Amino acid sequence: MTVYVYRLKGMGALPGAYSYNVPWFGLTADTEDELHPFAETVGLYRHFYRPRGAAGPRQPPGVGHYDLDQGERDRAVANGARPITWRQRERILRKHAAGDLSAP
């Protein structure tokens, strides 16, 4: 089972929002059957899951993700999630869209 955690792309401070920049992370896996049980082990509820939208030319199909704060990300890594970059996540999605389900 491979579960990944990555920093979400474009998650910076918003104008008029809080004065500090809080990083957010995504928790995903190769399949939803791997993702949901793992998410439960780190204390995440199913209604936190964010499914992928309809696949289009700029968005390949794939498994959605859970949003994590820093503490949840650290807990996920301690429980075996593999840290990757958002660019690696994009490559994984492209490989899955091409039918290659092997590890990145």
Instruction: Give the tokens for residue 88.
Output: 């690696």
43 Cβ neighbours under 8 A, 6+ residues apart: 72, 75
- pTM, 2 dp: 0.78
Question: How far separated are the first and last CA of the chain, in Å rounded?
Answer: 13
Q: State which residues form the domain around 75.
A: 3-11+22-97
Number of domains in the chain: 1
H/E stretch holding 66 reads strand 65-68
Q: 4-28: string of b/e by CB count within 10 Å (b at 16+)?
A: bbbbeeeeeeeeeeeeeeeeebbbb
Give percent of the chain above pLDDT 70: 72
pLDDT of residue 5: 95
Where would I find the H helices in the chain?
32-41, 70-78, 86-97
Q: How confident is the model at residue 63 (pLDDT cuts 50, 70, 90)?
A: confident
